[in-house]
Structure 1
Amino acid sequence: MNTTSAPLPAREAAHAAVIQTLPLYEMMRMRAATTARRHPRLGFASDDRASRMRWVNQFTHTHRKLGPDDREVVSPNNDTVYSNAWLDLSQGPVLIDTPDMGDRYWVLGLLDAWTNPFAYVGRRSTGNRPQRTLVHGPGWGGVVPAGVDTVIAAPGQDVWIIGRILVDDDPADLALVRELQLRIAALRLDGSDAAMRVDTRLDGGTTNAPDASLYRAIVDEALARNPVPRGEKLAWPVDPDELASALPRVFEQLRQAQQPHALGGGWALQVAVREHWGDDVLTRARIARNFIGALGMEEAMYPTAEVDADGEPLHGSHAYALRFEHGHGLQVGAFWSLTMYRRSDCLFVANPIGRYSIGDRTPGLKEEADGSLVIRLQTDDPGPGFNWLPAPHDEPFYVVLRLYQPRADHLQYRYAYPPLRRL
């Protein structure tokens, strides 16, 4: 009898269960990290500073672009300011009011608790006019009030709304966008404030594998409120000891996993989802671990490069050039950017010029004499006349192209992405 084979089914079951349920845990962690302790009118969710009580059905905002000291969200963008709300639909629908956004890019992306980007409000989908959106959970059959422009049915009781509003790097535009953000509101059907207290039970800033008992408790609570996606069989619960063993193993595996959906030139598509991950639970888990909160492809695409033209990992000990030939630029309906991240933690790279991304809106972007655009990626300043995106010193990195409202050549995988060439 082979005594070593007996534990394998339990080990494999625990591994599969963590892969399947990790998005639920990571979403609840993000809820803890991004909800407010204090409501501007109702005060603190708890008088105990150590409490995990937070406010939901309330928008919070960053009134500046994120930088290297912001560690709550992995692979964040450096193009927009964020507006954030977690909806709890267990007590009924929530109305979302948004103001006139002029002609600027903006979006409210709605994710369910399984990280499916199932709905949008914004420039591409509903326009820039002032509007009111009703979001309701499963089973709601009430009357839609007058004045509602859009009705969104959520698949579960928990919804993460991540708002992005394009902003220029100048005080006047930052002030204007701040006013727009403060006019975004979450209301009940009667017009009252929709804010609710919830116990998140988590330290949202801790990104390492959690204790197995905490993981189980968080997943159990989330499952009770957010049914397993249609067609998916739940592999839960599992042996407690095997769960404790699987958690750190899976968390590290997902952090190191290779990117799928090769695009050529060393580029791969981080997120190839439209509105639902379907049966691709492994990619869903990897994105939840490394790239949570990403938009679906019609709204934005995120081609990612971790290797150079020769297939070697990108590293700060080398210098690279990325060349977009004249007539072969990126095709977008809004804008594009290229952002630099450390591989170790998926966060921005601090650098002396405070530049974490570069793109078609970067002031002073220079073209070559033949009309091509060349971006230099390296630790040291290449000097005047170059478009420089600073890299980390002597450690691995990766870059993400963000294509907002990508056109057909990108959506249909016809665009030839140029490789990063080592100098």
Structure 2
Amino acid sequence: MTSIRKKLEHFVGLFVFVTVILTLSACDITTPAEDSKSQTAAVRATPTELRELIKEAYIYGFPMMDSYRIQYSYFVDQSNPEYKGAWNEVHNMARVFTPQDKAIQTPNSDTPYSFLGADLRAEPLVISVPAIKDRYYSLQFIDMYTHNFAYVGSRATGTEAGSYLLAGPRWQGEVPEGVKSVIRSETELAFVLFRTQLFNDADLVAVQKIQAQYTVQPLSRFLGTTPPPIPTVPFVKPLSVEAQKNSPEFFDILSFLFQFTPPHPSETALLARFAKVGIGAGKSFDAASLSPAERQAVTDGMDDAWKAFTQYKAEVIDTGKKSSADGFGTRKFLDNDYLLRMSSAVLGIYGNSKEEANYPVYFTDSEGELLDGASNHYTLYFKAGKLPPVNSFWSLTMYELPASLLTENPINRYLINSPMVPDLIRDAEGGITLYIQNESPGKEKEANWLPAPKGPFFIVMREYWPKPEALDGSWKTPDLVRTAISLQP
């Protein structure tokens, strides 16, 4: 098991759910704190204390930084091929992800996405959805901390049409008529991910018609009143994926983000400790002004944060003490467990809360060995009546390593999911064997083939709207069994 753990740690950085970030573009945003911007606060800590505070601030801030990096590429950087469009508008992606989509790791290829970057500074937004009775859909509301603070959709609000008011933390207005409920974000910026189920390729037109009925409008437009003024300040450029791991500039950008996150009562003392070393709203963390000993403390503190994550993953996540069902949810659910929140962001940012979707992952086979399509074949067997228990649908998606992306294959199949079940081959007892390997298992078995890359990979099972037995352990995921070893070198 020690060798297995070392191998898993070697791949820690490979499961990061990320988006490519390019150059800064002109985009404005409002902040009440902009007039109070101050110079770097003097470090009032010994190098030892500074190192510990930097570690603590990094663990706390990583999910915020990674989420900002994604939203920057989607809603700010118009030169980025991943740019979706302006804030406060719905942007539909009328297709599922393929291997050509490389900005986001471990992408869902079941449901076409729609995206909303919500700037709630000036006023709330009214989000309207149509009646959707023939398929699963969901709107996942995510704040800057990466808490899932609300849901709209099949599970959460039902199948009827409705309008919902998304408001920031400082809004104190009256709820207008025609709004079903108010959804309150703890932060001034929020991200809403829309998922609309797709049954097959021919169903795409129906999905596009549904997406066209998702609407977002500022409250003033909904009411027909004059919109409030919006003071502006430009976004700062986020760090690259690699620089985010070790650049002291991390904390200057984090201070910028704190402008959009009013302090939560449970974190007053924590934020006061960060402010002691110049990290906080209205502050500028200037690493160049630090002494050599202080700068080394910053570098060591960031390294300590990643070591803490690696240890946590090995001892808690890899051993099954905590899973994706524990790592995503509201602030109350996560209970300010910042290392768990960081781990969830590193391993799969924007994962759903367990009530909405559960994500069993196959990193190893039944014998604990890492998965590799270059030399091995695998099978996954579902007994009759023992498919994943869900109210909506399930899928099993292949991701190649080290990219953690969908993998090219001759039949353009990136997953097997429940809409495909009628076309899968069953044995005499009604069971289903899935063949997971690089080469075709033969024409007679190809219906059950999930193509693997000719190299390392992992597989994610998605259970949308899982039934209780999928969460309480009474239903077990089947073993991934290594069945053949190729003689090729």
Q: 2:59 aligns with which of 19, 33, 55?
A: 19
1:43-95 deviations in whole A, cap 9, x for unaligned?
xxxxx999x99721111121110112212222111100001111111101111
Q: Output the amino acid matched with 1:218.
A: I
Superposition deviation, residue 268 in structure 1: 7.4
Q: Of 261, 264, 269, which residue of structure 1 is paired with 2:323?
A: 269
Which of the pair has more CA radius of gyration?
2
Write out aligned runs for 1:275-290 (5 A): 275-276=330-331, 277-290=334-347
Judge which range, 354-363 or 187-196, deviates more: 187-196
Cα gap change, 1:362 to 1:246, in 2 (>3 Å): farther
What letter corresponds to residue 184 of structure 1 in structure 2?
A: Y
For the residues of structure 1 that align with 2:101 and 2:174, how far apart are their CA atoms? 42
- 1:105 is matched by which residue type in structure 2? Y
- In the alignment, what sits opposite 2:237? 202
Q: Give the deviation of 1:109 after TM superposition.
A: 0.3
Q: Does 1:34 align with 2:74?
A: yes
2:480 counterpart of 1:420: yes
Q: Which letter does structure 2 place at the counterpart of 1:88?
A: D
- 446, 449, 474: which one pairs with 1:388? 449
Task: Please report how far the alpha carbon of residue 161 of structure 1 lies from its aligned counterpart in structure 2 after TM superposition.
Answer: 0.2
Conservation of the 8 A alpha-carbon contact between 1:37 and 1:55: no
How many Å separate the matches in 1 of 2:80 and 2:113?
Answer: 25
Change (3 A) 1:202 1:141: same
CA deviations 1:142-191 (Å, max 9, x no partner) are 111110012111111111100100113324x2122112212222212232
Compared CA separation, residues 49 and 275, structure 1 to 2 (3 A): closer
Deviations, residues 361-413 of structure 1 (Å, cap 9, x unaligned)? 12622222211121111111111233111112122x21111000100112222
Displacement of 1:209:
3.2
Amino acid at match of 1:76: P
Q: Which of 75, 98, 105 is the equivalent residue of 2:106?
A: 75
Counterparts of 1:22 and 1:372, CA distance in 2: 44
Q: 1:372 to 1:199 in 2, by over 3 A?
A: farther
Question: Structure 2: 5+ residue runs without aligned partners?
Answer: 1-45, 279-286, 288-294, 484-489
Structure 1 position 251, deviation (Å): 6.0
Counterpart selection for 1:371 from 430, 436, 448? 430
| Aligned position for 2:410 | 352
The alpha carbon displacement at 1:254 in A equals: 5.2
**How many aligned residue pairs are there?**
403
- Provide the C-alpha distance between the structure 1 equivalents of 2:265 and 2:428, rounded to a whole number of angstroms: 55
**2:74–2:84 Cα contact (<8 Å) kept:** no
Letter in structure 2 aligned against 1:220: S
Contact 1:330 1:336 in 2 (8 A): yes
1:223, 1:199 → 2: CA distance? 15
1:314/1:268 CA distance change after superposition, 3 Å: farther
CA contact (8 A) 1:340 1:400 kept: yes
Amino acid at match of 2:252: A
Give the structure with the larger helix fraction.
2
Question: Which aligned pairs between 1:57-136 and structure 2 lie closer than 5 A?
Answer: 57-136=88-167
Amino acid at match of 2:478: P
Q: Among residues 294, 301, 326, which one is paired with 2:351 in the alignment?
A: 294
Instruction: Give the TM-score taking structure 2 as reference length.
Output: 0.75
TM-score (norm 1): 0.85
Residues 413 and 450 of structure 2 are in contact (CA less than 8 Å); yes or no, is this contact kept in structure 1? yes
* Root-mean-square deviation over aligned CA pairs: 3.1
Q: Which residue of the partner structure matches residue 304 of structure 1?
A: 361
Match of 1:400 among 460, 467, 472: 460
Match of 1:45 in 2: none
Does structure 1 conserve the Cα–Cα contact (< 8 Å) formed by 2:50 and 2:298?
Answer: no
- 1:373 to 1:70, Cα distance in 2 relative to 1, 3 A: same
- Letter of the 1:29 partner, please give it: R
SS at match of 1:375: strand
Q: Name which of 258, 263, 269 aligns with 1:223.
A: 258
Quick one: distance in 1 between partners of 2:60 and 2:460? 26
Q: Displacement, 1:213?
A: 5.1
Q: 3-state SS of the aligned residue for 1:353?
A: coil
- Tell me, in whole angstroms, the C-alpha distance in 1 between the residues paired with 2:412 and 2:436: 14
2:389 maps to 331
**Contact 1:53/1:201 (<8 A) preserved:** no
Find the aligned partners of 1:326 and 1:228 in 2 and give their Cα distance. Answer: 52
Distance 1:421 1:369, change over 3 A: same
Q: In 1, Cα distance between the equivalents of 2:144 and 2:233?
A: 16
Which letter does structure 1 place at the counterpart of 2:413? R
**Secondary structure of the corresponding residue to residue 135 of structure 1:** strand
Distance 2:145 2:247 in 1: 20
Q: Which residue of 1 aligns with 2:213?
A: 183
- Please say if residues 136 and 153 of structure 1, whose CA atoms lie closer than 8 Å, have aligned partners that are also in contact: yes
Instruction: Return the letter of the residue paired with 2:242.
Output: N
Distance (Å, rounded) in 2 between the aligned partners of 1:324 and 1:228? 48
Deviations 1:3-46, CA, capped at 9 Å, x for gaps: xxx855543432332111001101111111222667xxxxxxxx
110-119 or 342-351: bigger deviation: 342-351
| 1:303 Cα offset (Å) | 0.8
Q: Deviations over 1:246-279 (max 9, x none)?
A: 5577569858944945797xx9733423433223
Structure 1: gaps spanning 5 or more residues: 1-5, 39-47
Provide the rounded CA distance (Å) in 2 between the counterparts of 1:70 and 1:49: 13
